[in-house]
Amino acid sequence: MRTVRHDSGGSAPVDDGDPSVRSLAQDAISAFVHAPIAVAVCEPDGVVTRVNDAVTRLLGYPAAELVGRDLFRLVDGPLVAAAVEACRSLREGTTSAVVHETRFRTADGRLLDVRVTTSAVRAGTTAHPHAIMHLEDTTDREDLRRRLQHEATHDPLTGLGNRTRFLDELQRALPRGERHGEPVTVLYLDLDDFKTVNDTRGHATGDRVLRAFADHLRGTVRPEDTTARLGGDEFAVLCEGTTARAAGLVVERLTDGSWGRGPGDGDLPRVGVTVGAATSPGPDGRHLDPEELMHAADAVMYAAKARRRG
């Protein structure tokens, strides 16, 4: 006996006795269950109603622990607000699909980079409005991107930021300091007679000196300060919210001669450090741009070197 019914949206009648209809339903179920990409069906508010096996493999949770939960609860804490905001247009009905990148915490505690594509299925198309989420693991791609980004902005010998990263940070720090009425200080550092070390002890020893000083630099400044190797034996520190007087205390710690005395450093030649400091706003109250501030700190450093030679 063939049964003809109408779907709740009032569209054309569906013939339950039609083999093609049965085949389509079976194929849809099979496509969902066996899809290689993770698929979750959610209520409009984000609560999961169904997941396929790929979701459980991706996140490490059994289906029973995912159904009835909001997947946003598994998003890495600092990224939750961005994930919720990305899906706001779906809830408001202004778009039918959104794509955003986020990070999920898996059952074993790992953080997984995931590209989430969410589509809204509205009332009228179906009797029960819902959302479909596709989750794609992008961890390998993101790891490669982060590695390339790190290599482009960091010195490979010391692990400090390079000139490009330092100038980028300075470019952002100066307007921020101006807005908040806080000084920004740059320290420009140069190792004394470093060329002599390379010439008499070899470049391998010179590299050890550079790495030892980089460790000293990291251990002396605040975690929020930006450190960089500008090239050769020149280094820099960006200190936000730091007056010239406070920077003087940092300079004292940097030049106290204590560095390079750690385990395995006993044969390192002693190398002095000359530092120049400049602060924006300057003594006349004028705010300096990045080039002016770097040039001012560099000039103070070379003046100090000249006095020492004299």
Classify strands 48-51 and 38-42 as parallel, antiparallel or unpaired: antiparallel
3-class DSSP state of 35: coil
Q: How far apart are CA 295 and CA 302, in angstroms?
A: 11
What does residue 243 show for φ and ψ, rounded to 5 degrees? -75, 165
Name all contacts of 74-79 with Cβ < 8 Å and 24+ positions apart.
74/104, 74/105, 75/102, 75/103, 75/104, 75/105, 76/102, 76/103, 76/104, 76/105, 76/111, 79/103
Structure tokens at 132: 């479909």
Catalytic residues: 233
Q: Kindly give, in sequence order, each residue whose CB lies less than 8 Å from that of residue 114, ignoring residues fewer than 6 positions away.
A: 58, 101, 102, 103, 104, 135, 136, 137, 138
Q: Rounded to whole angstroms, how far apart are CA atoms 78 and 219? A: 27
- Work out the angle at residue 232's Cα, subtended by the Cα atoms of residues 231 and 238, and round it to the nearest 5 degrees: 45
